[in-house]
């Protein structure tokens, strides 16, 4: 997915409602919006990393048990 910065700015700066254009968002409001979005996304990224780490640990446990049971794996190049 490609994010177009210009489209984001246009979406925030003006919005049409029933044919009338709504006033532009103030600079302070826009700063707050972006800061809030970044805080939310940073928390989501941290949670995603935790999920990936948990999946990796579980996969390693399964691989370890399969090795104990005599299953051999070939490394892919």
Read off the pLDDT of residues 43-75 as tens digits, 9 standing for 90 and up.
Answer: 999 999 999 999 999 999 999 999 999 999 887
Work out the average pLDDT over 4-22: 64
Beta pairing partners, 20: 17
DSSP structural state of residue 39: H
Q: Which residue has the higher pLDDT, 11 or 51?
A: 51
How many residues appear in the chain?
77
Only one residue has tokens 């005599």, namely 70
| pTM of the complete model | 0.60
Q: Report the largest interatomic distance among the alpha carbons of the chain, rounded to a whole angstrom.
A: 71
pLDDT value of position 13: 63
d(CA 1, CA 35): 22
pLDDT value of position 38: 97
Only one residue has tokens 């409602």, namely 17
């Amino acid at each position: 997915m490609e994010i177009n910065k210009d489209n984001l700015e246009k979406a925030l700066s003006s919005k049409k409602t029933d044919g009338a254009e709504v006033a532009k968002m103030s600079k302070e409001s826009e700063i707050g919006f972006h800061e809030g979005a970044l805080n939310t996304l940073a928390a989501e990224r941290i949670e995603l990393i935790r999920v990936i780490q948990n999946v990796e640990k579980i996969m390693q446990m399964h691989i370890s048990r399969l090795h104990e049971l005599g299953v051999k794996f070939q490394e892919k190049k």
